[in-house]
Amino acid sequence: MINDKLLSNLLGVQNRKPLDFGNGPVSGCVGLNGQLLSINSYHPQVGYITVTSFEQFPNEQFYNVPFVRKYREKLLESENYGYGFRVQGMENTYDKKIAFVESAWPLFTFRINDNIEIKSLFFVSKQYSVINQIEIRNMNNIETETIQYDFSGQLNINRASYAQLTEGGPIEIPSPHTVLQFKKNQISIQNFNLSSELLISLFIDNEQQVQFTPDSKPSTNGCVSYNQTGKLELNPQQHRIVFVCYHLLTSEKLTFSPLTGQIPEARGWISNDNNPLLFIIQRNVEYILSCCSIPIGDNDNSYCIVTDNQILPLGWNRDN
């Protein structure tokens, strides 16, 4: 359960900007539809890599300004993209609220009918895993409710689409060589040209790890697709917890650890909906420290500071 005193509620305006979160080495971006748009991490060989639903940016298009702008606009169309756990009926949600927990972790609260309330929280664990914790509650005092869910996505692992300039000219983004495998209780997505791997695990009630049934599509444009469906029954007044764990392996430092499901200690931000200026300041500082200050090297004394954790190509030729 999340203490309401830790929440900073966002205004119900037509904001199209996705929500960012992170812990330094790893950051994530979630769309307004409650689906992940990207997971990003430092890579010791190629610089900075990302897991997205988009095809890799073509090396030959860096100086094509209309193409660059259209590619960047995809992130603003977050209602149409994303991957992860989805309860059927989410397209007809109501009483939807979006908040940040301690100015750090995005929280979505909504209902799919009069009886089912869902809270979906995103955070990065101490083991550098991106966690989506979904609490599903049956508010009915009499009847059992059954919900259908699907766990799906189209994913691509590639070096982020910035133009890496050197004295010898730009360094091209490595060509994608993406392979999807089902490893019993995990989905494995690898890009062999980057020596990187994404491991995905799904837990029900923090005990039952879901066995994945192979259902995937061949790689196209470097992207691979998977789909898993199921159902959950909830007795009257019962609530169930779903954990989705995304662990991106890019170096020996980011090794896989068992899921703990614990929200890491935050910075002690004070939440106050009556003081929006305080939230704006806290949120900006949190974003800089958690998403734009990336530890590099073999110690924690060296950092790379980026202006945006998505590191998209820019629409100005002099910057590309």
Contact status, residue 190 vs residue 179, Cβ threshold 8 Å = yes
> Can you give the pLDDT at residue 279?
84
Average pLDDT in the 19-30 region? 91
Phi, psi angles (nearest 5°) of residue 226: -140, 160
Contact status, residue 237 vs residue 227, Cβ threshold 8 Å = no
- Quick one: pLDDT band at residue 320, thresholds 50, 70, 90? very low
- Please write the tens of the pLDDT for every residue from 140-197: 899 999 989 988 888 889 888 877 666 666 678 888 888 888 877 888 888 888 888 9
Average pLDDT, the chain: 81
- Please write the tens of the pLDDT for every residue from 280-294: 888 899 999 999 988
Average pLDDT in the 45-55 region? 86
Ordered by where they begin, the domains of the chain are: 26-311 (2.70.98)
> Can you give the pLDDT at residue 167?
67
Contact status, residue 38 vs residue 52, Cβ threshold 8 Å = yes
pLDDT at 112 over 60: yes
- Quick one: pLDDT band at residue 13, thresholds 50, 70, 90? low
Q: Which residues, 6 or more positions from 218, have their beta carbon under 8 angstroms from its beta carbon? A: 224
Least confident piece of the model among 180-194, 220-234, 296-310:
296-310
Provide the terminal-to-terminal Cα distance of the chain, rounded to the nearest Å: 46
Q: Which two tokens stand for residue 304?
A: 């790379």
